[in-house]
């Protein structure tokens, strides 16, 4: 997969690209990531990339010239999926992350100021993506969220895709509570079923816990869902995770 990020602040991404899952992806042959500095295509010697809005209004807008120039500077931009981080976009979820992870080439644009000229959106952007019902000062942090979410679904990045398939939302439920050693800490014990060795009972407990947590915290995720299908999806994810552990162990 090839990925490019166009931003006015490429320095924000440098430590991010050296850490964790994204760092491993960037250092591997699985994903090629490049940073594009939009200010390199400023319209004057002062480095201007923004201007006042026609019709008035608060906030400056990023001009179209630097945006188009930044896009065209990516050698493989033809045919790439071009994403703009924007609060007016489609909400980022697991389905969209998996969809974008299946692309061979992805270019992410980070807006700043009061937004960007709509002509760039209409002519060049294939997807506007929002990470939530709030506004940040720029698209850089949302772009990092998108990259982290998408790269987890690129085969090989996590080592085993089963790790992502059993996460929150992947099964249609929030994640179940998880515990590790010690079995008792400061008088707090893990649920007895989890140390019983009864795999069927463990799966049932996890499903009930995930279902209860989802119903109390995010009930809209269950609206219109057939619980039998939810249970089947959960069981399949658990089976894949178990097979993965056996393979690794």
**CATH number reported for the structural domain that contains residue 168 in this entry:** 1.10.1270.20
What pTM was estimated for this model as a whole?
A: 0.88
Indicate whether 86 and 141 sit together in one domain.
yes
Same domain, 128 and 232: no
What's the confidence (pLDDT) of residue 181? 96
Statement to judge: residues 7 and 52 lie in one domain: yes
- Residues pairing with 138 in the sheet: 112
Same domain, 9 and 108: yes
Name residue, tokens 């007016």: 88
Q: Is residue 91 part of a domain?
A: yes
In angstroms, the CA 95 to CA 127 distance is 14
Give the residue from 127, 151, 175 where a domain finishes. Answer: 151
Q: What is the full DSSP assignment across the chain?
A: -EEEEEES-GGGHHHHTTSHHHHHHHHSSS-EEEEEEGGGG-SSTT---EEPPTT--SS-EE-HHHHHHHHHHSTT-TT-EEEEEEEEEEEP-HHHHHHHHT-SEEEEEE-BTT-B-HHHHHHH-SEEEESSSS--SBSHHHHHHHHHHHHTTSTTSSSSTHHHHTSTTTTSSPPPP---S-SEETTEE--GGGGS--HHHHHHHHHHHHHHHHHHH-GGGGTT--HHHHHHHHHHHHHHHHHHHHHH-
Stretches in the chain below the pLDDT threshold 50? 247-249
Both 70 and 178 in one domain: the answer is: no
Nearest of 132, 151, 226, 216 to residue 177 by alpha carbon? 216
Report if residue 240 sits inside a domain. yes
Q: Are residues 166 and 144 in the same domain?
A: no
- Neighbouring C-beta atoms of residue 110, cutoff 10 Å: 28
Total number of domains in the chain: 2
Indicate whether 65 belongs to any domain. Answer: yes
Domain assignment present for residue 30? The answer is yes
Cα–Cα dist 97/187, whole Å: 40
In a domain, 157, yes or no: no
| Cβ neighbours around 100 below 10 Å, total | 24
Q: Is residue 2 classed exposed, middle or buried when 0-12, 13-18 and 19+ CB atoms within 10 A define those classes?
A: middle
Containing domain of residue 240, as a range? 162-248
User: Does residue 86 share a domain with residue 16?
Assistant: yes
The pLDDT, as a whole number, for residue 239 is: 87
Instruction: Tell me whether residue 156 is in a domain.
Output: no
């Amino acid at each position: 997969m090839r990925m490019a990020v166009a931003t006015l602040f490429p320095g924000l991404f440098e430590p991010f690209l050296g850490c964790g899952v994204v760092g491993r992806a960037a250092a591997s042959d699985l994903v090629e990531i490049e940073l594009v500095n939009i200010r390199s295509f400023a319209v004057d010697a002062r480095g201007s990339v923004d201007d006042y809005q026609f019709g008035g209004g608060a906030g400056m807008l990023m001009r179209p010239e630097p945006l188009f120039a930044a896009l065209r500077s990516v050698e493989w931009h033809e045919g790439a999926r071009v994403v703009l981080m924007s609060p007016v976009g489609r909400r980022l979820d697991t389905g969209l992350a998996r969809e974008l992870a299946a692309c061979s080439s992805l270019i992410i644009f980070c807006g700043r100021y009061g937004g960007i000229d709509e002509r760039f959106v209409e002519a060049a952007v294939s997807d506007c993506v929002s990470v939530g019902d709030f506004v940040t000062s720029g698209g850089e942090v949302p772009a990092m969220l998108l990259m982290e979410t998408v790269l987890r679904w690129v085969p090989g990045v996590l080592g085993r895709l089963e790790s992502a398939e059993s996460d929150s939302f992947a099964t249609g439920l929030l994640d179940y509570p998880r515990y590790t050693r010690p079995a008792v800490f400061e008088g707090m014990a893990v649920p007895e079923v989890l140390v019983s060795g009864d795999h069927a009972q463990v799966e049932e407990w996890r499903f009930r816990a995930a279902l209860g947590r989802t119903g109390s915290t995010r009930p809209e995720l269950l609206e219109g869902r057939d619980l039998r299908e939810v249970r089947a999806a959960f069981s399949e994810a658990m089976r894949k995770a178990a097979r993965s552990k056996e393979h690794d162990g």
